[in-house]
Amino acid sequence: MSPAIPTFGSGPRHPASGPTSLGQPPRALPPSAYLDQEVYEKEIEQLFHSSWVLVGHATEVESPGDYFTCEIAGQSLFVVRTPEDGLKAFYNVCQHRAHELLKDSGSVRAIVCPYHAWTYNLDGRLRKAPNQQRVPGFDADRICLTGIRLESLCGFLFVNLDETAPPLAEAYGDLEAQFRAYVPEGERLRRLRRVSLVENCNWKVSVENYSECYHCQVAHPAFTRGVVAAKSYRIEPQDHCLRHLAEAAPAEKAWYDRKSLGEAEGYSSWYLWPLSSIQVYPGGVVNLYRWIPEGTGRTRILRDWYFMDGEASDDQLAAADQDRETTVAEDVRIVESVQRGLASKGYRPGPLMVDPSGGVNSEHSLVALQIWWHEAMGRP
Ligand code: FES
Ligand SMILES: [Fe+2]
């Protein structure tokens, strides 16, 4: 179910919404939601470790033994391709005395722990431990790495640390069909660029900034000239997804030659609660925006850029750098300023600018985020 777009006077009510008298718009969350360690620790359990999180693409682990590591709020994980069973995901921890097993990404024939050389098959079963034959009662057959749920969508890989969570297909509305309308064969995408950076802010400050375009015309002159036509920008909640849509910027101002890129003309992105977003820039240029919380006031951002069969022209590749130097840099300054402001004794959370008719200048999408946040944090 999508949350209804709230209107003045009928917006959702919760303890953080401020005054509840008729006619008051919902308010921004209180500073404690962004600053308190206790809140953050609850988010780790009830959100980050209970939600689907986008971690990469199947073309990054193409042959048996290929793997990449990833992290969800302090939990180190890895995805590996096995010879028989396809892709699997595990916690990145040895079952002997807890050393981490794999680093970064690469290819292995077996998983060998760097501490005492316990060796695991690619499917996670322990193959052998040095000196095992002399240890009474040691049973290698009973030892296996701890697996986690892994699902794919158009080649993109998602993991969920919650064994009881509903399937990925139920989380984000009609995501697959919508994405295929822009990129019919997402399985052929290959990552050519990764931009990694740290924002000194709470993850929600960054996600909220990502989830509204009220600031776009003020803060992002390059994006609103060279990528999208700002006035056409709109955001629609669907299940636990915020769908962003916009018309492309006029061709003569575009960052790159869109004609050679395929049929998709407009801009679309799907923010996937809580930590992932898939974006399609005009012309079918696919890139990800991922949030990796590293503490109450620190969030790593990963921007991955994908191209069909790994083929891209110089100006298409340059779009990743241009994006880093303009939109991303502009947002870093914004979110770090907001994080400092949240600690100010003078800040009283203000009204969200919810326009019942939607549009680029409406913050109704932030209310959807609040609903999802309260839903997760309110669980016993
Ligand atoms: S901790 Fe891995 S082999 Fe000892
Ligand atoms: Fe922004």
Q: How many Cα neighbours within 13 Å face the side chain of 239?
A: 15
Atom 3 (ligand 1) nearest CA: 116
> Over the stretch 255-292, which tens digit does the pLDDT of each residue have?
877 765 555 678 999 999 999 999 999 888 999 999 99
Tell me: do 67 and 213 sit in the same domain.
Answer: no
- Given pLDDT bands bounded at 50, 70 and 90, which one contains residue 311? very high
> Could you tell me if residue 4 is inside a domain?
no
From the CA of 116, give the closest atom in ligand 1.
Answer: 3
Task: Please say if the pLDDT value at position 125 is more than 90.
Answer: yes
> Could you tell me if residue 20 is inside a domain?
no
Tell me: do 132 and 67 sit in the same domain.
Answer: yes
Nearest ligand for residue 99 CA: 1
Read off the tokens for 32: 């404690």
From the CA of 94, give the closest atom in ligand 1.
Answer: 2
Q: Mean per-residue pLDDT for 300-310? A: 96
Tell me: do 333 and 250 sit in the same domain.
Answer: yes
Question: Which of 109, 133, 160 is the endpoint of a domain?
Answer: 160
> Could you tell me if residue 326 is inside a domain?
yes
Tell me: do 210 and 187 sit in the same domain.
Answer: yes
In a mutational test of the pocket of ligand 1, which residue from 95, 112, 118 has the highest number of ligand atoms less than 8 Å from its CB? Answer: 118
Tell me: do 134 and 185 sit in the same domain.
Answer: no
**Which residues, by Cβ under 5 Å, contact ligand 2, an ion?**
331
Total domains, the chain: 2
- Ligand 1 pocket (Cβ < 6 Å) reads 94, 96-97, 99, 113, 115-116, 118
- Given pLDDT bands bounded at 50, 70 and 90, which one contains residue 253? confident
> Over the stretch 24-67, which tens digit does the pLDDT of each residue have?
789 999 999 999 999 999 999 999 999 999 999 999 999 999 99
Tell me: do 328 and 228 sit in the same domain.
Answer: yes
Nearest ligand for residue 96 CA: 1
From the CA of 99, give the closest atom in ligand 1.
Answer: 1
Read off the tokens for 174: 């009609």
- Nearest of 371, 261, 293, 337 to residue 49 by alpha carbon: 293
> Could you tell me if residue 11 is inside a domain?
no
> Over the stretch 134-176, which tens digit does the pLDDT of each residue have?
999 999 999 999 999 999 999 999 999 999 999 999 999 899 9
Tell me: do 110 and 187 sit in the same domain.
Answer: no
pLDDT of residue 260: 56
CA–CA separation, 320 vs 332, rounded Å?
Answer: 16
Tell which phi-psi region holds residue 48, choosing left (phi > 0), alpha (psi between -120 and 50) or beta. alpha
Domain ranges, residue 212: 27-48+174-377
> Could you tell me if residue 304 is inside a domain?
yes
CATH number, position 258: 3.90.380.10
Question: Which of 160, 194, 220 is the endpoint of a domain?
Answer: 160
